């Protein structure tokens, strides 16, 4: 199950998200799109969970909350992503990257 997390602060990085969201085996894919130049986040991220139960637990914990380092602005808003699954997301990111070359 892949979720889209909205309202990610522009100053956020993948490293910050991995620290906040624990690399504990409950998820296997994290993508934080960045503006060209790679210094500022576009404001959303995708995270794929290995099971629906893990996705539901993540939603319960983070919906309407703030990341520790970013308590101003809008709280996180989580929705089901259009693209689902590890392989589908990886392919999607690779295709987007190839289009920028």
User: What is the sign, positive or negative, of the torsion defined by CA atoms of 53, 72, 34, 13?
Assistant: negative
- pTM listed for this prediction: 0.84
Beta carbons of 46 and 2 less than 8 angstroms apart: yes
Q: pLDDT tier at 88 (50, 70, 90 boundaries)?
A: confident
In the predicted model, what is the mean pLDDT of residues 32-41?
Answer: 80
For the chain, give the mean pLDDT.
86
In the predicted model, what is the mean pLDDT of residues 8-19?
Answer: 89
Phi, psi of 53 (to 5 degrees): -60, -40
Quickly list H helices, the chain. Answer: 14-20, 52-62, 86-99
Torsion of CA 35, 41, 43, 48, to 10 degrees: 110
- In the numeric block, which tokens belong to residue 7? 């309202």
Q: pLDDT tier at 45 (50, 70, 90 boundaries)?
A: very high
Q: What is the CA radius of gyration of the chain?
A: 13
Whose structure tokens read 């998200």?
A: 17
């Amino acid at each position: 199950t892949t979720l889209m997390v909205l309202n990610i602060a522009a100053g956020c990085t993948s490293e910050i998200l991995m620290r906040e969201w624990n690399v504990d085996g409950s998820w296997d894919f994290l993508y934080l799109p960045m503006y060209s130049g790679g210094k500022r986040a576009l404001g959303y991220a995708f995270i794929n969970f290995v099971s629906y139960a893990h996705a539901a637990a993540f939603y319960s914990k983070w919906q309407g909350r703030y990341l520790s380092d970013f308590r101003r602005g809008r709280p996180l808003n989580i929705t089901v992503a259009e693209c689902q699954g590890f392989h589908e997301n990886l392919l999607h990111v690779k295709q987007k990257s190839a289009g920028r070359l």
